[in-house]
Amino acid sequence: MRPYDPIPIDEIRAAQDRIAGHVVRTPLVRLNADDLPAEIYLKLENLQPVGSFKIRGAYNAMAQLDPDELADGVWTVSAGNMAQGLAWCARERGISCTVLVPEHAPETKLANVVRLGAKYVKVPFAVFEETFITRHYEGIKGRLIHPFSDPAVMAGNGTIGLEILEDLPDVDAVVIAYAGGGLSCGIGSAIRAVRDDAVKLYAAEVETGAPFAASMAAGRPVVVEHTQTFVDGISGTMVTDEMWPLARSLMNGALVSTLEEVAAAVKLMVERNRVVAEGAGAASVAAAVAGKAGTGKIACIVSGGNIDTARLQKVLQGQCLN
């Protein structure tokens, strides 16, 4: 596939109208903590019906498809959050949904996929990542809704950027978890269209798998080592060729946090704001709290809250960093 251009603002505004009433317009709240390097705000996508932002892109993509295109159902490739978002939308449309998941996918997310009426197929992590590129897996039928490399999905994600600008017009920086790039590029397209270069945009990653930071440093997509940890939603090995040019053009940089910093951010949000975030959802906050995103008014996307209860308990006790 050819590299993507920024998502047109008219398409993002159309997505905003399309998902209204079906997706939560999430609040933007101040992080209740002292001695912070900036005014840090939390965009609470963990409050969506499926516990993550993924419902926005999934709904916008499916809403534009004819019934004939959905006759054999839908499928996606996901560690858990797009799986739940697409399953929720498929249930609303009364069609089947199948998800290809990595073998280490969290049980909380898998249980929710089944609860929403979908089924999943576990594969090794290498096969999981390869399918992002091949867009095919033998034995799965239906319409693929790609979790990040799809303009309609990115347009749905971009509605988060519009909401941030509505609620905090003078925001100085936005920090966004980077997995495949669909969230960063959707939000980035919206904010660049409205405020051009006035807002700094940063991709948040974790040290156990930070391909975007490595690619930015090298000036080209590179492959990095990946270690399985509780930050399962964003830690990967690569930036895909079709997403790289757009992500590089929109983002000001990549902010990499340690596992300890991410765990501390999870704990901080629970204790100060009573907000439950999964590891990927806390990566943006970890970077901002550490001062990596600078000063001023910083909006952090709390992209999801789907963390196993037992794992959350261990993180809060400082016992779980893998």
Q: What is the pLDDT of residues 231-240, one digit of tens each?
A: 888 878 899 9
CB 173 within 8 A of CB 299: yes
> Of the CATH numbers 3.40.50.1100, 3.30.930.10, 3.40.640.10, 3.40.50.150, which one belongs to the domain with range 55-144?
3.40.50.1100
Q: What is the pLDDT of residues 85-108, one digit of tens each?
A: 999 999 999 999 999 999 888 888
pLDDT greater than 70 at residue 151: yes
Return the pLDDT at 232.
82
Return the pLDDT at 320.
63
Return the pLDDT at 42.
98
Beta strand 39-44 pairing with 297-302: parallel
Q: What is the pLDDT of residues 153-201, one digit of tens each?
A: 999 999 999 999 999 999 999 999 999 999 999 999 999 999 988 999 9
Q: What percent of the chain has pLDDT over 70?
A: 99
Backbone angles phi, psi at 45, to 5 degrees: -75, -10
pLDDT greater than 80 at residue 306: yes
Q: Where in the chain is the domain with CATH 3.40.50.1100?
A: 9-51+150-316, 55-144
For 9-51+150-316, CATH gives 3.40.50.1100
Distance CA 120, CA 110 (A): 8
Q: What is the mean pLDDT of residues 262-291?
A: 97
Beta strand 74-77 pairing with 143-144: parallel
pLDDT-based confidence at residue 1 (cuts at 50, 70, 90): low
Q: What is the pLDDT of residues 8-42, one digit of tens each?
A: 999 999 999 999 999 999 999 999 999 999 999 99
